[in-house]
Amino acid sequence: MRTIIIKVDESIYDNVMFFLKNLKDKGIIIEEKNSQAKEIKKLLNNKKVTPFKNIKDPLKWQEDIRKEWEW
């Protein structure tokens, strides 16, 4: 068996997968691998991410962080 890597644009992905899945019974094994960027977008989709919401004074926060690294 041989391995082929095909990078497919999102706009034609469904058509290509439909075609490949119809060939599945003829000796094709399909292994999908999603990119990390796509997975991250999927995880964060429709989520409100506010990582610095609890920081009331950003300058003081930065100073405190820098103090932690002082020798």
Read off the pLDDT of residues 17-70 as tens digits, 9 standing for 90 and up: 888 888 867 778 888 777 777 777 777 787 777 778 889 999 999 999 899 888
Please report the pLDDT score of residue 71 as a whole number: 77
**DSSP calls for 20-63:** HHHTGGGT--------HHHHHHHHHTT----TTTT-S-HHHHHH
- Structure tokens that stand for 22 in this block: 């119809």
The answer to whether the beta carbons of residues 23 and 31 sit under 8 Å apart is no
Question: Residue 8: pLDDT above 70?
Answer: yes
Please report the pLDDT score of residue 24 as a whole number: 66
Comparing 35 with 7, the larger pLDDT belongs to: 7
Please report the pLDDT score of residue 31 as a whole number: 82
70: region left, alpha or beta (phi > 0 left; psi from -120 to 50 alpha): beta
The answer to whether the beta carbons of residues 46 and 55 sit under 8 Å apart is no
